[in-house]
Structure 1
Amino acid sequence: MPELPEVEVISRGLARSLEGRTVESVKILNHGSVKMPWHVFASRVAGRTISAIRRRGKLLIMDLGENLHVTFHLKMTGRVIAHEEAATPQKHTRLIFGLTDGGSIEFHDTRKFGEVRALTDEELGDWKFYRTLGPEPLETSPEALAEAVSGKKARIKSLLLNQSVVAGVGNIYADESLFRSGVHPTAKACDLSHDSLVKLFTELQKVLKQAIDENGSSIRDYVDSGGDAGSFQNSFKVYGKKGEPCPCCQGILDCSTVAGRTSTYCNKCQKLCD
């Protein structure tokens, strides 16, 4: 699933190419992708000008003037791609916005898990998924994020993946930041010192910023708004590397399941408590 860096890269690319342009038509090729009455969605969006494109957590948001927001939850395989010409529907194209200048926006989703909505301010605020999103990790100090989890009995990786605790972090960037800060994914937050938690969130910010600079991580499906792959996967220290040597101590990397996700770590370099 695209995480914060991938969605941020997509939003920046789309903003550069689409802000100020107007949606002329809406073609829905898979009605299941639109999580509201399709005719309401189409009537709301057609004729509106794109005023901004931004990200909140893992959610891509396209603002259409005042009081209307198209939200894309990309889930596993969703892509939003801008075309300078009318898009030709492909096998997995689910939605196409035609633009008045001849361009188009394509929502492509192989596994059909992605969700698209067109919501007013009030509807967006009432949407539980959006309303319960936690703080943005790149807009919140490591000290404040550390304070938010300090003393909790939950395992630290579970807290990193909890979107109500910190928005936008998924399995890749949780594993990478935990390794770089020397914290074991199964450690309980209450067993870690304030300094260790601050270091963790400091490393999380560094990892997220590096991943954005490197256009995100492409493992299977992710591409940016122009169809280009990311390269941060070449900078992984531990993610997906079970059985390989630790890049620090050369011990063998281990893995286990935390919060339902595979977690890769080094038992020598990452500590369970202070």
Structure 2
Amino acid sequence: MPELPEVETIARTLAPRVFGRRVSGLRVLLPKSFQDPEHLAACLEGAGIGAVWRRAKLLMIPLYPAASARDPEPAALVMAFHLKMTGSFFVHPQGTPPLRHTRLVFDLDNGERLFFDDIRTFGWGRLMRADALGAWPFWASLGPEPLEPAAAALGSALATRLKDSRRAIKAALLDQTVVAGVGNIYADEALFAAGLDPSTPAGQISGAGYQALAGSLQGILRQAIRECGSSIRNYRDAGGNAGAFQNAFAVYGRAGQPCIRCGMPLESRQIAGRTTVWCSLCQGNR
């Protein structure tokens, strides 16, 4: 957490609050939350904020530095934040003091304050030129966005990428170089919807199985975005609102409970170091 639907929801709810605003100040409360915070501070004052967007599990905040006599046409910048387990962004009224878990405070030209909060402190951000994103190794390693191609194209791409893989299909879905943005929750839910055993070696799944998986994955992700993500512990959108998709979980977090399709108790095991829940009757191989 947060996974693709949660980060997408944060981007959509944060964008209208900060787009077009200028940054008037920065307070760094936890230096490890941002790579090279001194460089960030030097570039930030007076910078305009562009349209917030998402790539994989990254929240992207474009910046347009203020022109100066020394640099009348400064390059566009972007802050990339990986929220990890508990990172979040909230806009607060003028004068709001940092909260217990606030790590960065961005003062805006309308008096409001943008907080980056992170309970577990695993989240991080970095600043770079927007035209240099492709040279960032982490960025270059990311797999395709699961919602951008048509389901048939995504299914074919997954089948091609994984045709010789011996890894469990659940482990493959968690690999951000295979497909970007999918984590434990939505991998479990998509595999259930597609009727695939999460421990099946990826190379043994048929073309029809991958088509079913692609359709299920896109359907699950879109439904989760419509419901503003899943709030299990700490996740909230940029307005402080909880998501609702957790109320629709078919398998995630339901080990030992009856399957919603057949009534059999759901099973659980560790795959790729993550707790995995599935129905041994409904999730056969394809």
SS in 1 for 2:48: coil
Query: What is the deviation of 1:122?
Result: 4.8
State whether residues 60 and 71 of structure 1, in contact with CA within 8 Å, keep that contact through their aligned partners in structure 2: yes
Structure-2 separation of matches of 1:152 and 1:2: 30
Out of 157, 174, 189, the position equivalent to 1:176 is: 189
Uncovered stretches (5+) of structure 2, i.e. residues with no partner: 65-74
> TM-score, structure 1 length as denominator?
0.96
Instruction: Give the AA of the match of 1:191.
Output: Q
- Which residue number in structure 2 is paired with residue 5 of structure 1? 5
Does 1:113 pair with 2:112?
Answer: no
State whether residues 87 and 105 of structure 1, in contact with CA within 8 Å, keep that contact through their aligned partners in structure 2: no
- Which residue number in structure 2 is paired with residue 242 of structure 1? 255
Uncovered stretches (5+) of structure 1, i.e. residues with no partner: none
- Which residue number in structure 2 is paired with residue 225 of structure 1? 238
Structure 1 runs, 4 residues or longer, greater than 6 Å off? none
- Which residue number in structure 2 is paired with residue 23 of structure 1? 23
State whether residues 96 and 107 of structure 1, in contact with CA within 8 Å, keep that contact through their aligned partners in structure 2: yes
Q: CA RMSD in A?
A: 1.2
Instruction: Give the AA of the match of 1:249.
Output: C
Query: What is the deviation of 1:124?
Result: 2.8
Query: What is the deviation of 1:173?
Result: 0.3
- Which residue number in structure 1 is paired with residue 68 of structure 2? none
> Across the two proteins, how many residue pairs are aligned to each other?
272
SS in 2 for 1:135: coil
Equivalences for residues 38-117 of structure 1 within 5 A: 38-65=37-64, 67-117=76-126
Structure-2 separation of matches of 1:88 and 1:63: 25
My pick for the range that moved more, 163-172 or 44-53, is 44-53
**Offset from partner CA, 1:85-124 (integer Å, 9 cap, x none):** 2431111110000001101110001111010111113543
Structure-1 separation of matches of 2:259 and 2:114: 43
Structure-1 separation of matches of 2:158 and 2:200: 12
**Offset from partner CA, 1:192-222 (integer Å, 9 cap, x none):** 2111111111011111111111111001110
Does 1:142 pair with 2:151?
Answer: yes
> TM-score, structure 2 length as denominator?
0.92
Query: What is the deviation of 1:148?
Result: 2.7
Structure-1 separation of matches of 2:82 and 2:59: 7
Query: What is the deviation of 1:51?
Result: 1.4
Identity %: 46
